[in-house]
Amino acid sequence: MTQHLSQPEFPAATVLGYPRIGPHRELKKAVESFWAGRTDAHALEATASDLRARTRSHLAALGLGADDASVPLDFSYYDQVLDAALAIGAVPERFTDLVGDDGTVDLAGYFTIARGEGDRAPLEMTKWFDSNYHYLVPEIGPATPIRFVGRRRVQEFTEALNAGVRTRPVLVGPVTFLLLSKAADGAPAGFSPLDRLDDVVAAYAELLAALAAAGAPWVQLDEPALTSDTWDVPRDEVKAAVARAYGTLAAPSSSRPALFVATPYARLGCAIRELAASGVEAIGVDLVRGSAPDEDVAGIENVTLVGGVVDGHNIWRTDLDAAAEKLAALEGVGAARVTTSTSTSLFHVPHTLDDEPNLDPTLKSWLAFADEKVGEVLALAAGPDGAPEAFAASREVRSTRPTTAGVRRPEVRERLAALTEADFHRAAYDARVAAQDAVLDLPPLPTTTIGSFPQTAEIRRARAAHRRGELTDAQYAEEMRAEIARVVTLQEELGLDVLVHGEPERNDMVQYFAELLDGFAVTENGWVQSYGSRCTRPSILWGDVSRPAPMTVEWSAYTASLTSAPVKGMLTGPVTILAWSFVRDDQPLGDTANQVALALRDEIADLQAAGIGIIQVDEPALRELLPLRRADQQAYLDWSVRSFRLATSGAVEATQVHTHLCYSEFGEVIEAIDGLDADVTSIEAARSRMEILPDIERSGFARGIGPGVYDIHSPRVPSQAEVTELLSAALGSVGARRLWVNPDCGLKTRGYAETVDSLRNIVAATREVRAGLGVPTA
């Protein structure tokens, strides 16, 4: 008898995953205390075990079945992709010494691979699909060891079972794992990590068997990569890999668990055929971003379709009637069964609204965080007759939200409606260059920074004291001004050409603006994991956006009063403000972006009037929201670029508009970057050793550009010689006329000692390179 005939049914209601960091960031604190040497591995493991216990009993208390694989087991100390790599022993060569005789890596070694150590670079970090979560990129080569070694998930399963909860272990699926990997250094040309599919599948088969032997009826394999068609690997090869991987993993066998393959973040599209044919027992589809398959899928009659109808990626209360309709449509596909779940893991949203006593009650009634979403899934599984109160509450929100004050502000709407094409265009670039050259008087290869300077303990203390009311507004402003003065003096001493104020007053580059704009709310405890132990607290953009008063002018004007050097004003762009907030779901994102843009446009006008001649509008998240399907990308780039232009095109010719982007997939969005029409663009480049230069050259990008020469993600100080080399390379592709000199990104996470040494080397290297150009050095 094969396993898939005797397995239990897939649970009627579940979630794809749950926040892992702890309701009060317990895991973050425990991990950081371990890193600091304050606690040992045993203490960290004990905290992690307590947290897992809390999560599973909490989810069971909320109503998920305790014994039927309803409760996902998705704990991670740092990152789920790193966990998958280590479960199959895929450790890059430079970390081989961390591997024990049995092929495993202990906790200290795990964090070393995640964070690097001395000259050993960590695994590269990059964005997880279109979210603000960052995963670690595995490095796979022809000789990378791949075999099942890591039993952590098995032990966690047993731990839960012993405590009376039969969980559903969650793993990154093998195809997604390899698509997210990069070829290890030294791999031959033409090698693709996917070439190692059979080895990875063999290791996964053993891991699955171990989980089944421990008593797991179901295992969840996350395959979000199948929803994207932007991989280097052709679509047909991805489909063939799915068929091959799941043909093996889901082959009839009495020693494997039933398999649930989840495909969050977008529409699954055609790979559903390969999955359905492979013999997997359940397939999860994202019905928030995607839709039910609209063609016949052979084999679907043997599969449970798990409808992801509760948005795991945003915080709005679900329209339960609409969700129920989507589930009904999914019924029409002809699967053996349809069950209810979230569209993605809930780790993108905060734990619970119960921790937000001060949130406006009306707004709160429109929201659902992770715990509330569990309730929604259960209500949908019960249906309107089984959960009449939940459906009634959802209808109530639907009817009152649109007419609540602040959701639609006539003055904002009228201003948007009155925009004309001219509002999206500045004067021609050449005219701007002439006007700017006339007023700015900058040397060739001007040096600057990206905005923030190190956030010292004193700054943080002052901000916290101000928040608690222990510092008056005036006292707080005094402290910030003192810090700005210090940063200005430092920059003058270092000899930087364009100065910044250092952003001491900003807790976060998005939240700072969210707190000053109408239409936003901020949470007290709404933490979500960004990477590793790092969490952010996204703001909630719930209503029409407008700017009651200038937001940055006072700080920038004060800065300018301290120096005769040009000062660069600093704003966060509309796309990044949207990407790093929870954004209203009741109108197109482009409309919301334009509202934010108009507020920024007014801010730029005020900065200009205050004498600030250079203004940087940061858009580090431009690449992040890029849709996972090529067909959807152009529309996104159109509205995102337009919103930036709306924000900046009110600037007069003589005002130099800068933008900053930190991810180096420059080539992918180069046309959009060009479309921003900024006078100067700074981008991350040092970390990738100027990999972007050929892209810049090829694209014919013709405006000012500052490829970063200092990797600010590491405490390492780049030497003068190193910076000179990077600059010479950049000079070769960009030319002296357009090249700017700057770090990869802001300096707020760095310490002062290394920052000062690095900037000193950067200025010295710039002078060396300028001297070689035969132009004056100071």
- Give φ, ψ of 646 to 5 degrees: -65, -40
- Select from 735, 728, 742, 690 the least CA-distant residue to 447: 742
Position of tokens 């303990």? Answer: 457
| Among the residue ranges 181-189, 431-439, 631-639, 738-746, the one whose residues contact Zn ion (CB under 5 A) | 738-746
Binding site annotation covers 28? Answer: yes
Q: Which residues are registered as beta bridge partners of 498?
A: 448
Residue 223 touches which of Zn ion, ligand MET, none (Cβ within 5-8 Å per kind)? none
759 contacts ligand MET (rule: CB under 6 A): no
Q: Which residues 351-390 are close enough to bind Zn ion by CB under 5 A? A: none
Binding site annotation covers 501? Answer: no
Residue 452 touches which of Zn ion, ligand MET, none (Cβ within 5-8 Å per kind)? ligand MET
- Measured over the CA atoms of residue 229, residue 232, residue 237 and residue 242, the dihedral's sign is negative
Binding mask 571-610 for Zn ion (x = CB under 5 A): ----------------------------------------
Measured from the CB of residue 663, what is the shortest distance to Zn ion in angstroms?
A: 9
Give per-residue burial for 465-487: e unless 16+ CB within 10 Å, then b: ebeeeebeeeebbebbbebbbeb
Residue 451 touches which of Zn ion, ligand MET, none (Cβ within 5-8 Å per kind)? ligand MET
Measured from the CB of residue 745, what is the shortest distance to Zn ion in angstroms?
A: 3
Contact 182, 193 (CB under 8 A): yes
500 contacts Zn ion (rule: CB under 5 A): no
Binding site annotation covers 614? Answer: no
Distances (CA, A) of 225 to 169, 178, 202, 216: 19, 9, 20, 25
Binding mask 321-360 for ligand MET (x = CB under 6 A): ----------------------------------------
- Measured over the CA atoms of residue 271, residue 274, residue 277 and residue 283, the dihedral's sign is negative
Nearer residue to ligand MET within complex by CB, 150 or 613: 613
Q: Which residues 427-456 are close enough to bind ligand MET by CB under 6 A? A: 450-452
Element (H, E) at 522: none
Q: What length does the chain have?
A: 778
| Among the residue ranges 9-17, 31-39, 194-202, 661-669, the one whose residues contact Zn ion (CB under 5 A) | 661-669
Give, in degrees to the nearest 5, the angle at Cα 728 between 120 and 438. Answer: 125
Pick one of 620, 650, 707, 708: the residue that binds ligand MET (CB under 6 A). Answer: 620
Neighbours of 460 (CB within 10 A): 12
136: Cβ–Cβ under 8 A, 6 or more apart, which residues? 78, 79, 81, 82, 85, 113, 114, 122, 123, 124, 125
Single out the catalytic residue among 42, 348, 501, 713: 713
Nearer residue to Zn ion within complex by CB, 72 or 451: 451
Position of tokens 């066998």? Answer: 253
Measured from the CB of residue 463, what is the shortest distance to Zn ion in angstroms?
A: 21
- Select from 569, 557, 567, 450 the least CA-distant residue to 497: 567
Measured from the CB of residue 84, what is the shortest distance to Zn ion in angstroms?
A: 28
625 contacts ligand MET (rule: CB under 6 A): no
577 contacts ligand MET (rule: CB under 6 A): no
Binding site annotation covers 270? Answer: no
Pick one of 579, 615, 617, 662: the residue that binds Zn ion (CB under 5 A). Answer: 662
612 contacts ligand MET (rule: CB under 6 A): no
Residue 257 touches which of ligand MET, Zn ion, none (Cβ within 5-8 Å per kind)? none
Measured from the CB of residue 648, what is the shortest distance to ligand MET in angstroms?
A: 15
746 contacts ligand MET (rule: CB under 6 A): yes
Element (H, E) at 443: none
Element (H, E) at 530: strand 528-531
Q: Which residues 453-492 are close enough to bind ligand MET by CB under 6 A? A: none
Catalytic-residue membership of 713: yes
Three-state secondary structure along 578-639?
HHCEEECCCCCHHHHHHHHHHHHHHHHHHHHHCCCCEEEEECCCCCCCCCCCHHHHHHHHHH
CA terminus-to-terminus distance, the chain: 82
Alpha-helical regions (H) of 259-317: 271-278
Nearer residue to ligand MET within complex by CB, 107 or 607: 607
Distances (CA, A) of 508 to 26, 481, 536, 756: 21, 18, 9, 22
Q: Which residue is nearest to ligand MET, using beta carbons?
A: 746
Binding site annotation covers 535? Answer: yes
Binding site annotation covers 389? Answer: no
Neighbours of 490 (CB within 10 A): 17
451 contacts Zn ion (rule: CB under 5 A): no
Both tokens of 763, joined, read 């200025």
Binding site annotation covers 452? Answer: yes
Measured from the CB of residue 708, what is the shortest distance to Zn ion in angstroms?
A: 9
Element (H, E) at 72: strand 72-73
662 contacts ligand MET (rule: CB under 6 A): yes
Binding site annotation covers 35? Answer: no
Nearer residue to Zn ion within complex by CB, 620 or 707: 620
Binding site annotation covers 215? Answer: no
Q: Quote the CA–CA distance of 1 and 243 in Å, as a whole number.
A: 23
618 contacts ligand MET (rule: CB under 6 A): yes
- Measured over the CA atoms of residue 74, residue 79, residue 81 and residue 85, the dihedral's sign is negative
Binding site annotation covers 182? Answer: no
660 contacts ligand MET (rule: CB under 6 A): yes
509 contacts ligand MET (rule: CB under 6 A): yes
Nearer residue to Zn ion within complex by CB, 192 or 664: 664
Q: SS3 for 100?
A: coil
569 contacts ligand MET (rule: CB under 6 A): no
Binding mask 203-242 for ligand MET (x = CB under 6 A): ----------------------------------------
Binding site annotation covers 660? Answer: yes
Pick one of 136, 646, 745, 763: the residue that binds Zn ion (CB under 5 A). Answer: 745
User: 539-546 and 518-521: which strand pairing?
Assistant: antiparallel
745 contacts ligand MET (rule: CB under 6 A): yes
Nearer residue to ligand MET within complex by CB, 253 or 456: 456
Measured from the CB of residue 746, what is the shortest distance to ligand MET in angstroms?
A: 2
Measured from the CB of residue 624, what is the shortest distance to Zn ion in angstroms?
A: 12
Residue-by-residue DSSP string for 337-369: EEEEEESS-GGGS-S-GGG-TTS-HHHHHTB--
Neighbours of 414 (CB within 10 A): 9
- Select from 401, 272, 429 the least CA-distant residue to 335: 272
570 contacts ligand MET (rule: CB under 6 A): yes
Pick one of 89, 293, 308, 620: the residue that binds Zn ion (CB under 5 A). Answer: 620
741 contacts ligand MET (rule: CB under 6 A): no
Residue 519 touches which of Zn ion, ligand MET, none (Cβ within 5-8 Å per kind)? none
Measured from the CB of residue 565, what is the shortest distance to ligand MET in angstroms?
A: 18
Binding site annotation covers 132? Answer: yes
Q: Which amino acid, one-letter code, is at 98?
A: L
Q: Quote the CA–CA distance of 571 and 655 in Å, as a whole number.
A: 14
> Which spans of this chain sit near Zn ion (rule: CB under 5 A)?
620, 662, 745
Enumerate the known binding-site residues for 5-methyltetrahydropteroyltri-L-glutamate: 28, 132, 534-535, 580
Enumerate the known binding-site residues: 28, 132, 450-452, 503, 534-535, 580, 618, 660, 662, 684, 745
> Which spans of this chain sit near ligand MET (rule: CB under 6 A)?
450-452, 503, 509, 570, 618, 620, 660, 662, 745-746, 748
- What residues are annotated to the active site? 713
Enumerate the known binding-site residues for L-homocysteine: 450-452, 618
